[in-house]
Amino acid sequence: MTESRFTFPQWTNLALPAAIVIGMTAPLYMAIVVAYGFSPQATDVGYMPEQPIPFSHQMHAGELGLDCRYCHNTVEYTQHAAIPPTETCMNCHAQIHPQSDKIQPLFESYETGMPIEWVRVHDLPQYSYFNHSAHVTRGVSCVSCHGRVDTMEVVYQHEPLSMGWCLECHRDPDPHIRNPDLVTQLEWGLDMSAAERLENSALWRTHNDLQPSEDCSTCHR
């Protein structure tokens, strides 16, 4: 019993080749998973939270053609494009569809003064500074960052809103510049050829002397 010595079984010969194969593929695999799986394209794009009221932008902004700024009226003056207060909804809904089950939370909010708890869809990291008014008044359309909200039954995040994505436009803003009066017309420019579109953009860029900054402190202040 004492003289029986431990010997590695024969199959452990495979340990070395297996270690080599795993050692070579695992880092590559991890790199792929982190690069593709941790990016906002995977984690954030397509985020479509359920809202307390099934508000349809497709109906209000698309079919009825209400201007984005009727409700998000602070977008031209302030950093934050405000979610409208209950009061704004009541401008119309005091009379239209008042007995609809779907909008009862609206009336509840109006009577009690408690805010409707809308779920934020587009949420930038809090170490980055973004100003809506700086973009909208210079001719960057809502559609550039939010997609065709006027066709969305339920709003979802359309763009990654990552730093690389921001810089892409700050380095070459031309595809995203238009007449500042037309920023809320989301379908504008779709019937133009790419060349026409760029020509128009360049015109407005020169006209408004736009030189988007790439300094760190522009967004991280």
Partner 1 sequence: MTNLIKQIIDDLLKPFLADFKEMPLWIKWGAVVMTSIAFMILAFVFRARSEGVYNDKPRIHFIQNMDNQPKFVSQEANAMFNDGRGMRPKVEGTVARNEMTGDTHFFMGIVDEAWATTFPDQITVDRPLLDRGQGRFNIFCSPCHGAGGFGDGVIHHRAQRLVETGVNGTTWVAPKNLHEDMIAAQPVGQIFNTITNGIRTMAAHGSQIPVADRWAIVAYIEALQLSQNADASTVPNADSLPRVDEGSNK
Where on the chain is the footprint of partner 1 (CB under 8 A)?
9-11, 13-14, 29, 32-33, 36-38, 41-50, 64-67, 69-70, 73, 77, 79-80, 82-83, 85, 87-88, 90-92, 94-100, 113-115, 117, 123, 125-127, 156, 181
Q: To the nearest whole angstrom, how small is the minimum distance from the Cβ of residue 149 to partner 1? A: 14
Q: Which residues of 201-218 are buried (b: 16+ CB within 10 A; e: fewer)?
A: beebbeeeeeebeeeeee
172 by Cβ neighbours in 10 Å (0-12 / 13-18 / 19+) ranks as exposed
**Cβ distance to partner 1 smaller for residue 46 or 203:** 46
Q: To the nearest whole angstrom, how small is the minimum distance from the Cβ of residue 88 to partner 1? A: 6
13 by Cβ neighbours in 10 Å (0-12 / 13-18 / 19+) ranks as exposed
What φ, ψ does residue 129 adopt, rounded to 5°?
Answer: -105, 125
Dist. CA 66–CA 142, nearest whole Å = 14
**Cβ distance to partner 1 smaller for residue 110 or 169:** 110
Which residue, among 148, 169, 145, has the nearest Cα to 159 in the 3D structure? 145
Q: To the nearest whole angstrom, how small is the minimum distance from the Cβ of residue 220 to partner 1? A: 11
Q: To the nearest whole angstrom, how small is the minimum distance from the Cβ of residue 9 to partner 1? A: 6
**Cβ distance to partner 1 smaller for residue 59 or 202:** 59
Q: To the nearest whole angstrom, how small is the minimum distance from the Cβ of residue 210 to partner 1? A: 21
Contact present, 48 and 158 (Cβ < 8 Å): no
Dist. CA 140–CA 143, nearest whole Å = 8
Q: To the nearest whole angstrom, how small is the minimum distance from the Cβ of residue 202 to partner 1? A: 24
Contact present, 204 and 139 (Cβ < 8 Å): yes
**Cβ distance to partner 1 smaller for residue 160 or 189:** 160
**Cβ distance to partner 1 smaller for residue 51 or 174:** 51
Dist. CA 111–CA 98, nearest whole Å = 13
**Cβ distance to partner 1 smaller for residue 163 or 210:** 163
